[in-house]
Structure formats: C-alpha cells, structure tokens
Structure 1
Amino acid sequence: MRTIKGPGLFLAQFIGTDAPFDSWHNITRWAAGCGYAGVQVPTNDPRILDLDQAAASRDWCAQWAGQGSQNGVVVTELSTHLQGQLVAVHPAYDAMFDGFAAPEVRGNPKARQEWAVDQMRKALTASKHLGLTAMVTFSGALAWPYIYPWPQRPAGLVEEAFDELARRWRPLLDHADSCGVDLCFEIHPGEDLHDGDTFEMFLERVDNHPRAKMLYDPSHYVLQQLDYLDHLDIYAERIGMFHVKDAEFNPTGRKGVYGGYQPWLKRAGRFRSPGDGQVDFGAIFSKLAAMDFDGWAVVEWECCLKHPEDGAREGAAFVKNHIIRVTEKAFDDFAAGATDRAANRALLGLDR
C-alpha cells in the first residue's frame, strides 16, 4: 500500500488576467497559501508555462519548477487537455474547437491537427525534462456525434473511428514511452474515450500499450450513472492519475442524464465543490490506497454554485482530511506468535 500524495490543484480553472492568477510566480504562491503541496499545470497558456522553452531545455525547466518550489509547491503533472482534443476533431465541432489552437492554424483542420500533435510531443518531452512520470490529456473525438444510435449507425462506423483514433495516438504513445511518461486519458463525455468500454476499444487497437492510462475523475461517472467504485476495481492497473472533483445527479420528471439543454445550475447532473456533492470519496481514497496508487490527489475545481477561491481553499483541506497514511503493520500484530512450522503442522493435525 502507498500513501497518496497531495493535495494538488489543477490550475486551469484559475488562470486569469488579474493577480494572483496572472503569472507562474503569483499563482504558485497563492496555491501554496491555500494549503496545496503541488500544482497540475496546463500547457496552453504562456503566462504560466512556455512550452517551447520547456521542451527545449532541462535547465529552463529546472529554473521554472524551482520557482514553484520556492513558493511552496511542486509540479505534479502537465496537462494537454486542449491540444489532445485537437488530435481528433469531427467536422461538426471544427468551429467550436478552433479557438483551442494557435491563431495561425485556425480554419485549417489539417494544420490544426499537425499543430496539436507537435504540442503533445513537446509536452511529453517537457514532462521528461521536469522528471514527471504522467501527463493528462483528452483523446479527442471522431465518433461522438453518433453517441446515440438514432438514426441507426451504419455498420463499421464506430470501428473505423476507433481505428483512426488509434492510428493518430500510437506514435504519441510511443513517444511517451521514450520519455518515460504515462499518457493518461481523462475519461470524459465529449471524448471518444468516455467510459470503460470505449477505453478498452482503444486499448485493443493500440495493442494494450503500457503507456495508455486513465485519469480517474468520479464526477464524470456520477453524471453518466456509471459505478465509479467498481470502475476502480476493474481498471486498477490502468489508473495513472486522479482528479478530486465532486458531482451530484438529481433526476426529475423533466430531465435526466442529457440535461435538457439547460445551464449547469438547472441540470440534473451538476459539478460541485469537493464534499458538496454525492461522490463517496472515503471509499475512493480507501480503494486507491489499497491498490497501491502511486500518484497525486489533485483537486479540479468546478462548481455551479460556490466561488472558486472558496472551493480551492476548502478543497485543499478536504483532500488532506481524506488522504490515508497507510499502516506499516497489521492492527492485530500484538497478538501474533512466533513462526514455528512444527507447531503449525501440529495445530493442523498433520503429523499424527
């Protein structure tokens, strides 16, 4: 068993134009002041991380990470959610996802996809330079518009989508392996990898690649009505990262999983600050400790009600209170006797 590291904070929801959220120096000091020991860092905002520099220079990485350490936090992992999304985009989403890309490739899906792959490779190399062993991303989606089978999906459509998804990701998984970094796909609605079945479909097509892992976020499973505790038992060997994010699901006679096109506040399924939703984090932390999870408990704050700064501060304390310092001995060791094979055989009646 291992004691989970934490608390960590995913910075994506907090980066902004005003202090203390406007620079690497300021935001790391703020996170440490909230009680965090680590930060998970998005790679798409140069105010926080210069990805080109990080990919090019170990010395630059050491200086950048050192500033965070001086302010009281270590870097837990890098995030490439937005770039990973652009590795595979169905044309229906071209306009909406274009804003994730650099201005010079917008409006050009082929150039955008090549840019995204290059960004992914740079982020993996930067992770290596930083001494990190895991990186989070989205898988992107080619089949998502066909999630509900009406009209009936043509035979082979989903299979072709996943074949292509695997073709695009296999070289990146190989690069991740050369960097010694696990590529952790956040299992998330809107992505082709959105539950256990779809992850397995992908895994089969990349030959069970050892670097293909999951980021485990129970909030997305609550909103899908998937058993998030059983999921841990099934995929224990593939859980590479962990987001502490809460959610609640309160269906009515008017709405359920699909949400009725309502804003977050009026949906049946809503994200909440840690401890304010329905996720059984006590059971989750127990399972992760028992299954030897060697990673960080990272708060990803999203809530339709609470102020983000309150959620961040409370989230740090919430994680601290849930991390289990694992025991080094059994609770009943005091009653143990000395090992004596002859005595054991006698107790079993084997030498009569």
Structure 2
Amino acid sequence: MAINYNFLSLALIIFSTILHHCLSELCHPEDKKALLQIKKFFNTPNIFPSWDPKTGCCGWYGLTCDYKTHRVNDLFLNYADLAGPIPPQVGDLPYLETLMFHKNPNLTGPIPQSITKLKRLRILSITWTNLSGPIPDFIGEITTLDFLDLSFNKLTGPIPSSIGRLTKLTGLRLDRNQLTGPIPASFGDLTGDNFYLYLSHNQLSGKIPASVLKKDYTYMDLSRNKLEGDASLLFGSDKKNLEIVDLSRNLLEFDLSKVEFPKSLTYLDLNHNKIIGSLPVGLTELRLQLLNVSYNQLCGKIPVGGELQTRFDYSAYFHNRCLCGAPLPNCK
C-alpha cells in the first residue's frame, strides 16, 4: 500500500499544533503566573529552560500536577544552583503538597512567611543550603505537615515550641544546623506513628523533657549536642517500637543497669557521655547491628551472649571506669 507522505506530514503538523495547544491549556493560569514569577525572581533563565511561557506548566521540569485539576501539587527545585533567598511567590501555589529545595548551596536568607499560605502542604524539605536565621515561630501554622526537614543548613537560635502544634508530623529533621537552647517540651505533643526525630550536630542544651522521652519513636538521633540529665525514660519497655537510638557525645548521666530495652532495638550509640552502672543482661536478647557505650563511667562484667562478643570488638566498650570481660580484658 502506497503511503501519502504529504498527507502524513500535514496530519503530523496539525496534531503537533493541537497537542501544543492542549499542553498550553494543561496549566492553571494562576499557578503558571506564580511559577514564572519564581523563575524571574532567581534571574537565571538558563536554570529552567523548560519553563517556557508558551507551554503548559504541567510539562515543566521540577514539578508535578494533578492529572484532573492540572493544579501544581509538587515543586522539587533540587541541584538547581539557585542563588539568593527563597521567593515569596512559592506561597502563591495553593494546591502545593510538597515543597523541596535540596543541594542549592547558594540559597540564602530566612524561611519566607509566605509558606504559611500553603494550606495543603504535607512535605516541607529545605536541605543542604545556606539558609540562615532562626526557625520561625510561624512554622507551627502549617498544621497539614507530616514531614519537616530543615537539615544541613545554617539555622540558628532556639527551636520554636510552635512545632509541637504540627500534630500530624511523623518525621522531623533539624540536624546539622547551629541551633541552641533546649528541646521544647511541646515535642511530646507530636502524635504521629513510627515517628523519627533527628536533632544531631547542633548546640542544644539542658535536659530532655520527660514528655519527649516518653513518646514512642522509631528513630531518634540527638547526638553531638550538649544535652544533660537522665534519658533512660526513652527506652521504656517492649511496648515501644524503638529501633535506632544515637545519644552519643552529650553530657547525659543515668544508671544504665536499670534500663529495659525494647526488643525492636537494633542500633544503640551512647558513647562520650557520663553514664554509670553496668550493662544490663537484656542487651544479650537484642539483635543489635551497632552498639557503642565507650567513653562513659560504666563498671562490671560485660554480659555474655547475643551479639555482645561476636559482633562488637573492644572499641565498643573501652574507656569506661571499670568495665571488663570479653572483648575487654578479663575481670579481676
């Protein structure tokens, strides 16, 4: 059968024209306006070459749209070499559920208050930037959030207690900043299941509130701060789902021999604290992948069994007051 190439070419041109027109329409005009303002704000046209005002924004790089409403749901501005502050126009995308800036080292300035206009936002992730200033109190107004990640920035000052109002949170990362002051007691009001909390590599101080320690976490990393006092309430009993705990390099002081560990625990790092007592026999019943209790004030014989001798060498136990037994020297 002969092919009429002239007819086929004409059909393709007509189809392309119709498709281009359709794609142009697959974008809410207010969303498109906000996105083009964001592009203009950064003043680097070559960063978003696909953000062409002649095409529909739902086909642009770094975002997704709802396939029915064509409203922008997710904005991922990652590895984009963006410079300057976060544009206030991000708050003009009312259907946004995810807002993410990752690995933009030239992104600076504070967190803009305009994000409080995002009444559907579930994930806010601003990481590996040079964002500075305090974590603003208005962050607690975004009550739809279930994940907040502000790690690896240059944020300073205290953690606002208003974060405790984000009761839908299941994950909170504020690690690798320059935060100071105590952990807010309001963190105990965070009710999300399978919760994980990362506050490591800051300058947090004071005692960990009992309301925080009693909460059921899956992962907790408070390492490399200046926290003090008793953290034993964190462990509780088998009713907890605790899997990973890192409290290392703080000023914590409690009797480890009185602690009951949940069977779910697989990672326990307590090194460089002021912990006293002996290692409880309950540790032999755990399937630990990591254990480090070095540089404390522990005494007594290391219990025999489980993973305590087979998986971990002397470096997991050394520099204690009088801890002994394999893999350390024998007790006298």
TM-score, normalisation: structure 1: 0.26
TM-score, normalisation: structure 2: 0.27
Question: Greater strand share, 1 or 2?
Answer: 2
Higher CA-based Rg: 2
Question: Greater helix share, 1 or 2?
Answer: 1
Structure with the bigger RCO (C-alpha within 8 Å, sep 6+) is 1
